[in-house]
Amino acid sequence: MTHQFPDNFLWGASTAAHQVEGNNTNSDFWLMENLEGSVFKEPSGSAVDHYRLFREDIARMAEMGFNAYRFSFEWARIEPEEGRFDPAELGHYRDVLLACKEWSITPIVTLHHFSSPQWLIKQGGWEAAETPARFARYCAHVMNELGDLIPYVCTINEANISIGIKKIMKRHELQSGAQGAQVGMNMDRMAQMQKYFEELGKAFGVPHTEVHSFLAPRSEKGLEIIFQAHMEAKAAIRLIRPQTRIGLSLSLYDIQSRPGGEEQAAHALQEEFLQFIPYLKDDDFFGLQNYTRVLYGPDGILPIPDGAEITQMGNEFYPEALGAVVRYVAKHLEIPIMISENGIATDDDTRRVVFIDRALKGVHDCISEGIQVLGYMHWSLMDNFEWQLGFAKRFGLIEVNRATQERTIKPSGLHLGNIAKRNAIEQA
């Protein structure tokens, strides 16, 4: 049986600038990766050199059958010093947007995807009251310069990620090897980090407890600052480019309960999603990012069930999570949904093909029920730098030989591209 998607459905894949571009020397992550005793397993270096090779990567997406690309601009490149915007870097991202236009690829631009300018962190980072205004100023400058080429903009990637990080740490306690649903954390090194923290504080010129990068443990005030940054950026963008559709993305598990765990699951849903609806309800779309489910019992998070298939990230292989999350987002938030990330880390590409098919079956069912889903952006376009875990985790539809930077489209990439070309999935 064939399941047809809407004719205007956006099919594509996602990347994040720091994970693919390479040599992002003004960012906080670059500094953290290169410290002595770093918690990062390896530095990003030249990554997969997407900064230089973006044209052929975008052309390859079109060849595969995609019509959309979600990627990020790097704030640390565009504003390397506070108030100084680099015209050459803005020109680079204009070239990326023009390459999308040349290949009929719809760009979905994320303005902040985890990495920040070093100067921002030195001034209090994502706990500082001034950060929302600074972020809005950067967003306004970008949209003034490039907004004519940006139909969709995501202000902040996974604005709720600090909540997810707490759960990652809890899962690591329960199940050795669990490394995080949405972001690569080197949990094996976390227990030995005191020396690293001391070096980190020296590098930023503040006490290490005051180094507030986007992925650092966060206070309630810090979480509020992130969402305030979204609100201020949204207002600034709408003044400059009202035609551009604006949203942000959240990291969401499929939250399920076992008998007695209903109250714990309801609390998790409130904590991870529902409390943020006031910030999102007048957005133009919602960026939904999902990789797996999490189970709750009477005492909180349960271990992954015995015998379940586990991905390289220590997650349960559970593509059905996506459809479930689309449904509960649609139940509470009446704006269109963009699936901005969904995928698995695995060296067995046949499992990625299965994951894609089962995830898309859930998406199609949601569309059939009347839920407005704008598109599906697979994570990730290419194997890339998975933050603290380095290059070992394979999320990509495209394999990259980092010695030569040669790209090879995996069967899963051809498979998803063929679905996009047909705009349909086949189900037995």
Q: Active-site residue numbers?
A: 158
Dig out the tokens for 236 from the structure: 């600034």
Dig out the tokens for 378 from the structure: 């697979």
Q: Which residues contact 162 (CB under 8 A, 6 or more apart)?
A: 215, 216, 217, 218, 222, 223
Dig out the tokens for 377 from the structure: 């952006």
CB atoms within 10 A of CB 51: 19
CA angle, residues 224, 329, 270, in degrees to nearest 5:
45
Dig out the tokens for 116 from the structure: 């920040």
Maximum Cα–Cα distance for the chain, whole Å?
61
Please check whether residue 386 is in contact with residue 393, taking contact to mean a CB–CB distance below 8 angstroms. Answer: yes
CA distances for 260 relative to 295, 298, 301, 305, angstroms: 11, 5, 12, 17
* Beta strand extents in 283-326 (DSSP E only): 286-289, 293-297, 300-301
Q: Of how many residues is the chain composed?
A: 428
Tokens 């779309």 identify what position?
Answer: 285
CA distances for 365 relative to 66, 319, 320, 327, angstroms: 21, 13, 11, 10
